[in-house]
Amino acid sequence: MVSRVLVTGSSDGLGRISARQLLEEGHEVFLHARSPARAREALAAAPGARGVLVGDLASLADTRSLAEQARAAGPLDAVIHNAGLGYRDGRVETADGLSRLFAVNVLAPYLLTALAPAPRLVYLTSGMHRGGDPDLSDLQWLRRPWNGSQAYSDSKLLDVILAFAVARRWSAVRSNAVEPGWVPTRMGGPSAPDDLEAGGRTQAWLAVSDDPAAAVTGRCFFHQRQRPAHPAASDPSVQDGLLLACEALTGVALPRVPDLR
């Protein structure tokens, strides 16, 4: 069966790898890039894609536009929320007054999920999420001295919390998180020891596979095997707290029932 899949952040790295793997399997793939120039790079690197949706995930307006483009593209079977920022830069504030790291890694997947859901949702996390802090009181790092590594770990924990919250709220949707490993992407660096192709395979598998092992929800995976997540990710009070925080920042609530048309 051919699936229609959107892969965010697919102009390079793991997103590009996952998109290529899906294309090789005969699926219809929509790429995503933050600018027209990056869109051209994405199409050149993944020939056969149905198109490229353009929007900077650091911008709430662009993310809303991206959701509209996804809806206009027709029903999607899966969205792989792959796009993300690393932790080497200092705290950068977006035009919306948000931490850019939080805006791209957490708020954009939330907003896209709320506005453009799909029957299968995959959220990219990291093994570093286990060092994340589930305290939601200072998501923008306004009261604490900036610590890039900790802010990144926190954001990756919040991605798992989001995935599990969606799984709990939406019984008709399969929502899971994936640790790709430490792979040699622009973020991971050239000396990263894990395999890049293997790093992209699990998210593609969860997005389209009929394998019973992929027919689950509210789980964390590494290389197509379930792996325990940070305990806070399964706490309904933490999940609901994150959803409320994201709703307050975006003005968009996660619907009680997803519109999968």
Catalytic residues: 152, 156
Alpha-carbon torsion 63, 233, 29, 15, what sign? positive
d(CA 196, CA 137): 35
Q: What are phi and psi of 106, to 5 degrees?
A: -125, -55
Greatest Cα pair distance in the chain: 50
- Which two structure tokens, joined as six digits, stand for 89? 């830069």
CA distances from 243 to 161, 228, 253 (A): 9, 22, 8
DSSP H or E stretch at residue 124:
strand 120-124
DSSP alpha helix (H) spans, 80-212: 100-102, 108-115, 148-169, 196-208
Alpha-carbon torsion 175, 150, 199, 3, what sign? positive
Cα(first)–Cα(last) distance of the chain, in Å?
Answer: 18
Angle formed at CA 107 by CA 106 and CA 112, multiple of 5 degrees: 105
d(CA 137, CA 121): 27
